[in-house]
Amino acid sequence: MLEALLTYNFLQNAFFSAILASIACGIIGTIIVEKKLVMMSGGIAHTAFGGIGLSYFLGIEPLIGAMGFAVLSALGIRKLQKRTHISPEVVLGMLWALGMALGILFIAFTPGYPPDITSYLFGDILTVSHVDLLITVIMNLIIVATIGCFFNAFKTYLFDEEFAQVIGLPVSWLEDLTYVLIALTVVVLIRVVGIMLIIALLTAPPSIARQYTNSLQSTMLLSTILGIIFCSAGLWISYALGIPSGAAIIIIAVTTYFLISMFKSPTP
């Protein structure tokens, strides 16, 4: 595997993509788990499929369309939550289905042979291109820079929202920013594990890390390390056995979580 990694560009792209995805996943996944935004993240991920379909229809890079749809849906969900009394799960369910439906519709209208969308639905890290890698780098820089600049504000918002309001932190703005960062992370993970499997990779590493530490910084760091291990192992198994990379990564991550949960008592 090491010799192949040094030889083939597609494996190098896959490896660097795995590391970058793990960084975004470790940071934002921790926030998602702490704020209980798991289903909301899944809704944004599925809505992004509409952007992928639109991108194929317009002939542009699919991840760019996915990013646009993901960010707009994230902000739309926040707006609807503020303006309506409908349960968030109801809104998510409708947007979840709408995004998938729009993606299918746009792909149906795309001239010529229909594109293969399997890698976007279920992930195929071995097909990550230089353009995909560049977009992933940009998304990671935005995520890391944002969390780094506002880390203390995010920390207060995550663990004591009422106190954050009392001391004058812009809680509403932090919530909007959180949703946008989740949308960007979804775009980073689409090519690694696919839209259908994103939730597991966003939640498994932080859930494991929380069993060993209560520190936000430590949880993010350990989640990132675990993500790198899971993605690298899944990449190796995918290359060696010729099986889908997204499925391999998720099976390793979720199995590890269940095994650790059975034999390790959570940190009090």
Q: Per-residue b/e over 179-200, b at no fewer than 16 CB within 10 Å?
A: bbbbbbbbbbbbbbbbbbbbbb
Residues 6+ apart with CB under 8 A from 84: 91
- Rounded Cα gap, residues 164 and 239, in angstroms: 47
Q: What angle do CA 40, 152, 198 make, to 5 degrees?
A: 25
107: three-class secondary structure by DSSP: helix
Q: What is the pLDDT of residue 94?
A: 84
| Paired tokens of 264 | 């390790």
Structure tokens at 138: 């940009």
Six-digit token string for 80: 């609807």
pLDDT value at position 222?
96
- Cα–Cα distance between 66 and 128 in angstroms, integer? 15
3-state SS of the chain: helix, strand, coil percent to 5? 85, 0, 15
Q: CA gyration radius for the chain?
A: 18
Q: How many CB atoms lie within 10 A of CB 73?
A: 27
pLDDT at residue 88 in the model? 67
Q: What is the pLDDT along the chain (268 residues), one digit of tens a residue?
A: 566 666 778 788 888 988 999 999 999 999 999 998 888 888 888 899 999 999 999 999 898 999 999 999 888 888 877 777 666 677 778 888 899 999 999 999 988 877 778 888 888 888 888 888 898 899 999 999 999 999 999 999 888 888 888 888 898 899 999 999 999 999 888 888 888 888 888 999 999 999 898 899 999 999 999 999 999 999 889 888 888 888 899 999 999 999 998 887 654 4
Q: Please state, in angstroms and rounded to a whole number, the distance separating the CA atoms of residues 63 and 68.
A: 9
Question: What's residue 267's pLDDT?
Answer: 47
Which residue ranges form the domains of the chain, and what is each CATH number?
Answer: 2-259 (1.10.3470.10)
Q: How far apart are CA 121 and CA 182, in angstroms?
A: 18
